[in-house]
Amino acid sequence: MKIKLLALFAIMLFSSCNGNTVFKQLDTDFEENRWQRTDVKSYDFTIEQDGNYDLEIDFSYVAGVQFAEVPIYFQFVNPQGQIETKDVIIQTKDATGGDVGDCSGDYCDMDYPVFKNKSLKAGKYTVKLTNAFNNAYLPNVLGIGIEVNPAGK
Where do the structural domains in the chain lie, given as residue ranges?
A: 21-150
User: Has residue 84 got a pLDDT over 60?
Assistant: yes
The CATH superfamily assigned to 21-150 is Galactose-binding domain-like (2.60.120.260)
Residue 19: pLDDT band (50, 70, 90) is low
pTM: 0.84
What per-residue confidence (pLDDT) applies to 148?
Answer: 98
C-beta of residue 143 within 8 angstroms of C-beta of residue 60 = yes
What per-residue confidence (pLDDT) applies to 72?
Answer: 97
Q: How far is CA 123 from CA 21, 86, 152, in A?
A: 16, 21, 21
User: Has residue 2 got a pLDDT over 50?
Assistant: no
Residue 149: pLDDT band (50, 70, 90) is very high
Least confident of 51-55, 80-84, 104-108, 120-124: 104-108
What per-residue confidence (pLDDT) applies to 39?
Answer: 97
User: Has residue 150 got a pLDDT over 90?
Assistant: yes
